[in-house]
Amino acid sequence: MLNISNNKIKDKNYLEKLNSFQMLDARVHSRKLIKILYLLGGILLALVFLPWTQNIRSKSKVTALKPNQRPQTIHSIIAGRIEKWFVQEGQFVKQGDTILYISETKEEYLDPNLVQNTEQQLISKEFSVKSYMEKVKANDSQIDAMIISRKLKLEQAENKLIQSNLKAQIDSVELSAAQLNYKIAKEQLIRMEELFKEGLKSLTDLETRKLKVQETQAKVLAQESKFISSKNEIINAKIELQSITADYRDKIAKSESEKFATLSNMYDAEATVSKLQNQFINYSIRSGMYYILAPQDGYITQAIQSGIGETIKEGAEIISIMPADYQLAIEMYVNPMDIPLLENGQHVQIQFDGWPAIIFSGWPGISYSTYGGKIVAIDNFISDNGKYRVLVSHDSNYPDWPKELRLGAGANSMTLLKDVPVWYELWRQINGFPPDYYKKNTTQTKVK
């Protein structure tokens, strides 16, 4: 007992009979335990005021930084049957090396001379197009010749019409002169008859004058017939002019119809040529797809399809390849509550599986055998596991990552946040609050 009170219980005789009381009374009294408890309490009190670095811890795995550096599978663009393998698993291949050869399985491509036959059809059709083009040129030349001939014929007919008009005018003037002579001859005959009655002229003179009148009358009739004939020639010239125009119009229209029919055939042939060109190119490209080539330098990891004679479908996975040149990165998944605290360039401490390390999550400065990284990418959409994917690459300010690392290896990542007291971190963890957001102050004070 501590013997603090003046009332001594040991003076009570009935207590001495109790075995438990005798054992307590016989023990050694010491204050060392109290001092130790006070010392431990002081240490714990001092610890809660120490600085603590908040962090976000997550399971991670090793991956490649760029998409083209990650493992990929090689697909078959066309359906076929495996005929020969040129590689084996674990073998290094360069870009363009042949991996395997497949043969055709579709009926429309089984002809071994399919490309050559299509090319021959294409050449024949191209010659057909050239023939149609030459025929169109011949029709154009024929139409041009008809146009020139029509122009000359029309000029000739127009000249003939002009000549007929001039001839009609001459005949009209001559008819007028003959009618005037006939009129004069009739007047002279009247005077001659009067002179004959008076006996001043002889009968012979009178008869001569009558003969003269008949001659002039005959000339009038002949000139009228000639004038009417000239008018008929004018009408004939006009008819001939119209006939030439109509005739050449029909001929030119017929040639143009033949030309357009040829053009239609030529356009059909050109459409066929375009179709054959498309088929020829497709067949040529398809024939080059029988050999599956390596897309980049790398190592053959696994043959998904195997054997000889096995058929594969379009787009089927054939073999997987691991690129030879790659840059390592860490792929970690963060809870949605913590994603607003992350930003590109933020430091991350990493422990790789298989590389022992001593880690103090709150005091990263005294951690040992951890590696440094920095955030390079943060997904904007959530993953299937309900978390956001964050990509971390090597931080050049820290030691290089182990060269023995392989893609897919596990890791533990720790993203460092704000420095707070230990008591504050305990209070935050108990209440389930998120870590504090920390961002360096990059603003500068403006000089007044």
Q: What is the DSSP string of 388-419?
A: EEEEEEE-TTSPPPPTT--TT-EEEEEEEEEE
Question: Residue 429: what pLDDT?
Answer: 65
User: For residue 295, how far is the Cα from the chain centroid?
Assistant: 22
Q: Which of 19-28, 225-234, 254-263, 346-355 has the lowest mean pLDDT?
A: 19-28
The CATH architecture one would assign to domain 52-69+326-431 is Beta Barrel (2.40)
Task: Say if residue 439's pLDDT is above 60.
Answer: no
CA distance 254 to 261: 11
C-alpha to C-alpha distances, 260 to 253, 267, 274, nearest whole angstrom: 10, 10, 21
Amino acid 285: pLDDT? 86
The mean pLDDT of 394-418, rounded to a whole number, is 81
pTM of the prediction? Answer: 0.55
What is the per-residue pLDDT for 445? Answer: 46
Please give the CATH architecture assigned to the domain spanning 72-104+290-322. Answer: Beta Barrel (2.40)
Reported confidence tier of residue 444, pLDDT bands at 50, 70, 90: very low
According to DSSP, the β-strands at 298-303 and 317-323 are antiparallel
3-state secondary structure 265-300: HHHHHHHHHHHHHHHHHHHHHHHHCCEEECCCCEEE
Measured distance CA(338)–CA(268) in Å, rounded: 67
Q: Please tell me the distance from the alpha carbon of residue 155 to that of residue 161, in angstroms, as a whole number.
A: 10
Looking at residue 448, its pLDDT comes to: 44
pLDDT grade, residue 92 (50/70/90)? Answer: very high
Closest CA to 167 of 225, 237, 227: 227
Residues forming a β-bridge with 8: none
Type and span of the H or E element at 376: strand 371-378
- pLDDT value of position 401: 87
Question: Residue 211 has which token pair?
Answer: 């003969």
- Sequence-separated (6 or more) residues with CB below 8 Å from residue 417: 53, 54, 55, 56, 341, 435, 436, 437, 438
Residues carrying CATH 1.10.287.620, the chain: 114-288
Does residue 295 contact residue 74 with C-beta atoms inside 8 Å?
yes
Instruction: Tell me what the pLDDT averaged over the chain comes to.
Output: 80
Provide the token pair at 73. Answer: 């599978």
Closest CA to 330 of 401, 381, 268: 401
Asked if the model's pLDDT at residue 387 lies above 60, the reply is: yes
Task: Name the band, by pLDDT with cuts 50, 70 and 90, for residue 93.
Answer: very high
Is CATH 1.10.520.20 correct for 114-288?
no
Residue pLDDT, tens place only, 102-125: 988 888 888 888 888 888 988 998
pLDDT, tens digit, for every residue of 158-193? 888 888 888 888 888 888 888 888 888 888 778 878
| CA distance linking residue 315 with residue 293, whole number of Å | 15
Contact of 48 with 426, CB cutoff 8 Å: yes
Of 404, 394, 388, 385, nearest to 350 by C-alpha is 394
CA atoms within 13 A on the CB side of 43: 6
Asked if residue 446 has pLDDT above 80, the reply is: no
Q: What residue ranges of the chain are covered by domains with CATH 2.40.30.170?
A: 52-69+326-431
The CA-atom distances, in angstroms, between 416 and each of 179, 330, 380, 433 are 135, 16, 21, 17
Q: What is the pLDDT of residue 220?
A: 84
Q: Does residue 319 sit in helix, strand or coil? A: strand
DSSP string, 49-76: TSEEEEEEEEEEEEEESSGGGS-EEEE-
Residues facing residue 59 across a β-bridge = 412
- Dihedral sign of CA atoms 82, 85, 89, 91 in order: negative
Give the per-residue pLDDT at 414: 75
Domain with CATH 2.40.50.100 in the chain: 72-104+290-322
Predicted pLDDT at 94: 92
In tens, the pLDDT along 220-241 reads 888 888 888 888 888 888 888 8
Q: What is the pLDDT of residue 105?
A: 84
The percent of residues above 90 in pLDDT, for the chain, comes to: 5
pLDDT in tens, 305-360: 888 888 888 888 889 998 888 888 989 888 887 777 778 888 887 888 877 766 65
Query: Which has the minimum average pLDDT: 53-62, 68-77, 279-288, 327-336?
Result: 53-62
- Name the region of 206 (left: φ>0; alpha: ψ -120 to 50; beta: rest): alpha
